[in-house]
Structure 1
Amino acid sequence: MKIKAIKAVAALSASFVLLTSVGANGAFAKSTTQATSSKKVTLNVFQFKAEIAKDFEAMAKDYHKAYPNVTVKVTTVGGGADYGAALKAEFAKGKGPDIFNNGGFQEAVTWKDKLEDLSKEPWVKNLYKGTEKPMTMNGKLYGMPMNTEGYGFIYNKDLFKKAGITTLPKSISELEAASKKLKAKGITAFSVGYAEWWILGIHLLNIPFAQQSNPDQFIKDVNSGKVKISDNKKFKEWVKLLDLTVKYGNKNPLTTDYNKQVTQFAKGEAAMMQQGNWTQTTIDGIKKNMKIGVLPMPINNDKAAMDKLPVGVPNNWVVNKNSANKAEAKKFLNWMVTSKTGQKYIVEKFKFIPALKTIKGTNLGPIADDIQKYSAAGKTLTWNWFKFPDGATNDFGASIQKYIAKQSSSTQMLKEFDATWKSKYKK
């Protein structure tokens, strides 16, 4: 998900993710899209998921074959690059892309004046309940959920077996014990890509927010100044998890980027990595049929509370309301989720867990399988970073990197989180 990463919904219930395994009547819907443009049109799509870049471009070519008057030009900015900054730069050049990505919640509010109302699009009625929340403002829907995703510690079952780990760790103490067993066998426990700010400032830091008794209320209280991150117990516990991954992780974590992190894991050079189902295609490209699963990311020893995975809507497709081609842009998005061709790309090539009931989501790989099992059991945590002040995640990531480099203490790092929030938050 990477940001790629990336992006969330408290109401992701057991029902809607479980249903993706069977689809609606187990069949592909037929496209209702009809090409009406009599002139040549170029749709500019600006998207962040580097994992799907080549396949998305291939899908765009297939769309052009079906509708020769429409050329879909795809630009991908991901893989560690700052998509948000790049998107702002695109709009600064002129009119901006026709289709782009938006994470919803606070990010939707930030970009609202650029977003087309999609409430009346034909696919809306087929969304799983809860997936519409990030992009709903004042009763109107401004984005189409890209998919649903989950993340945690992806683990190598063969390396766990080699280390004699027979019980999967569900608490911080058990995770440390497992890490020690791996080290005793000469196995690096974690492949950590801490050169990437988003791995730290988005996914990892989401854990203590998601573990609050009421994450939304906690964020409101931080906004109002009623509470401080630096005073919160869950964040102090979270530091122990961060320390654990560094202690038992690969050397030079601050120079290890996303690609190196995933490659190390896929080659069996580490037993675990903090990532999600978006890495499945990359792993498959390095090692086919790898025996892997997903573990929770515990910060204390309350097993019931810790045995959960963060699951949410990573991002949304949105249409630039000021685009001269917005009608064609909406047709393309509709084709992507209703045509047999588009649906096959979503499931078979992108390996997405669908956000629509009409798309059959099976054979997505072992990572998605575990995520769907956790979701079916109702053992999920919310994704909260889209509710943060604009730009805060980048600064959070930088503060964590500073701490890992031993240039600040844990107390100073948490206080920096407070300072970042206060400076970025706009009432």
Structure 2
Amino acid sequence: MPRSRRTSAVALAATASIALLTTACTGSADAGASDDPKAKTTLTFWHGWSAPSEVKAIEANIKTFETAHPNIKVKIVKGITDDKINQALRGGGSQGPDVVSSFTTDNVGRFCTSNALADLKPFLDKAKIDPATTFLPQMAKYTEHDGKRCTVPLLGDAYGLYYNKDAFKEAGITAPPKRLSEFSAVAKKLTKTKGGTIERLGFNPSYQAYETTVEHYGSQFGITYLDQNGKSNTANDPAVKAMFTWQKKLLDDLGGYAKINKFRTAVGDEWGPKHPFHTGQVAMQLDGEWRGKMATNAKLGFEIGAAPFPVPDAQVADYGKGYLSGTILGIANNSAKKNAAWELVKYLSTDTDAVVSFANAIHNVPSTVAALKSPKLNNDPLYRTFVDIAQHPKSSHAPSSVNGGAFLLTLQDFGVSYEQGKQKDLDALLKKNDAQVDKDNEQAG
């Protein structure tokens, strides 16, 4: 699962760090791989997982890889942040990683254009692996930028709706809503207040709440963000205005920004047992497939269900889709062991048993078509909801950008300003967003 929800400060710091790679990276676009993959060698693999069960799962896969490749030993370094990965890729040296995994799919554009990660096409071609048919097409798409593939998907994340079945039954709601108009009505019906204070929110729509970011909403509305020339297009995309208008109205209908923000800042941590959905303080939650396992581990006092997140009324035919993200895997361009590193990348990302066992262990969605069809894949109904969402043909990730995910952060910040009521002219706000994004992208090169 993702280690933390996106925040402007963290993500912008990561983007700025990657930006330095354009001029400081020691690798080059055509750097060759000359090492013998059958020679005895040691690879350094950096990953971001830190929970004991997750670390144990990746270590088990690495052990199986080493058994199949007795000449290759893998030094595993856990809990590595994107910021540290960026510094290592920029600096090079013998202490740096050969293979890296990252939770930040938004940075693929930066990784590829800066040559921080090696071009994987020669390796894939030699192995006769077609990313478009090997990986889930939507995940294959978000792991390349502008025709260059410097990463492959390791595991995926799909976003959908969790709901409190007991609260639904109490309110006489028989099924999760499919249309956003129905969803808004359900959210209001499930909200409870006492003396003007919110005791339970049907749903927290704030852009500052857990996982309710512009890109997670945006996939349901079909937002494109950028035009074919890479220019920001939010002022001209009616889906963006529809999203902002719907979100603001629901926020106001549920009590307004001040009241909801007071509620938001008083609830438990997103990754702890006191998450507001776990405690019953929120009846519906937009979240990823990992939440089901976390909720089960928290031993909730009520039954929960999962379903795709609703879509705009006019797009009900597309119900079932959701936002996709996940872990990406690549080879450091300054590694002197690229051929051996490819053996590890190939195993972790395309070996069906490896992908399925890892997905089952950490409750993520497999990224290969074969793994998704495997009879060994977890059959838990909650989990399977997200497996289905991942395979919906219109599930999507935000487009890659030369400036990483900065364009999403900019729109998110304008969204917060709009929900706070600081900016009331939505058309003017979106024009400001486009101007800022285009300026930032131009500076990023």
| Shorter-chain TM-score tier | 0.7 to 0.9
Question: Aligned partners of 1:250, 1:160: CA distance in 2, in Å?
Answer: 24
1:114 to 91, 114, 117: 117
2:338 to 323, 326, 336: 326
1:176 matched to 2:188? The reply is no
The offset of 1:302, in angstroms, is 1.7
Question: Aligned partners of 1:313, 1:383: CA distance in 2, in Å?
Answer: 6
Residues 61 and 354, structure 2, Cα contact 8 Å, conserved in 1 = no
* 1:292-331 equivalences in 2 (<5 Å): 292-298=305-311, 300-305=312-317, 307-312=319-324, 314-331=326-343
Deviations along 1:232-274, whole A, 9 cap, x unmatched?
3222221233232575467443676632698221333311112
Question: Aligned partners of 1:179, 1:337: CA distance in 2, in Å?
Answer: 39
Q: Which amino acid aligns with 2:134?
A: L
Kindly tell me: are residues 357 and 189 of structure 1, through their superposed partners in 2, closer, same or farther at Cα, counting changes over 3 Å? Answer: same
Q: Which amino acid aligns with 1:346?
A: F
Question: Aligned partners of 1:388, 1:160: CA distance in 2, in Å?
Answer: 44
The offset of 1:65, in angstroms, is 7.1
* Match in the other structure for 1:423: 439
Deviations along 1:210-236, whole A, 9 cap, x unmatched?
25xxx4xx72257357xx423432222
Residues 144 and 316, structure 1, Cα contact 8 Å, conserved in 2 = yes
What root-mean-square deviation, in Å, do the aligned CA atoms of Structure 1 and Structure 2 show? 4.1
* SS of match in other structure, 1:327: helix
Question: Aligned partners of 2:213, 2:164: CA distance in 1, in Å?
Answer: 22
Q: Which piece of structure 1 moves more, 267-276 or 139-148?
A: 139-148
Kindly tell me: are residues 202 and 112 of structure 1, through their superposed partners in 2, closer, same or farther at Cα, counting changes over 3 Å? Answer: farther
Question: Aligned partners of 1:234, 1:357: CA distance in 2, in Å?
Answer: 31
1:253 matched to 2:253? The reply is no
* 1:216-235 equivalences in 2 (<5 Å): 219-220=226-227, 223-224=230-231, 228-235=233-240
2:40 to 35, 38, 41: 38
Question: Aligned partners of 1:235, 1:140: CA distance in 2, in Å?
Answer: 28
Gaps of 5+ in 2: 7-35, 194-198, 255-259
* Match in the other structure for 2:407: 392
2:378 to 363, 368, 371: 363
Deviations along 1:159-218, whole A, 9 cap, x unmatched?
21222112432223211210122125964212568557975243234444x25xxx4xx7
1:155 matched to 2:163? The reply is yes
Q: Which amino acid aligns with 2:408?
A: T
Kindly tell me: are residues 58 and 285 of structure 1, through their superposed partners in 2, closer, same or farther at Cα, counting changes over 3 Å? Answer: farther
Determine what percentage of the aligned residue pairs are the same residue: 16
Bigger Rg, structure 1 or 2? 2
Kindly tell me: are residues 149 and 301 of structure 1, through their superposed partners in 2, closer, same or farther at Cα, counting changes over 3 Å? Answer: same
Residues 189 and 270, structure 1, Cα contact 8 Å, conserved in 2 = yes
1:202 to 215, 220, 226: 215
* Match in the other structure for 1:94: 92
The offset of 1:341, in angstroms, is 6.8
Kindly tell me: are residues 385 and 76 of structure 1, through their superposed partners in 2, closer, same or farther at Cα, counting changes over 3 Å? Answer: farther
Deviations along 1:353-390, whole A, 9 cap, x unmatched?
222244326325334322344566x5633222434743
1:382 matched to 2:371? The reply is no
Query: Which structure is higher in RCO with an 8 Å CA cutoff and minimum separation 6?
Result: 1
The offset of 1:319, in angstroms, is 1.0
Deviations along 1:402-421, whole A, 9 cap, x unmatched?
33444433625434421332
Question: Aligned partners of 1:173, 1:301: CA distance in 2, in Å?
Answer: 7
Residues 189 and 271, structure 1, Cα contact 8 Å, conserved in 2 = yes
Deviations along 1:112-159, whole A, 9 cap, x unmatched?
453242314648357146243334578774332223432133222222
* SS of match in other structure, 1:317: strand
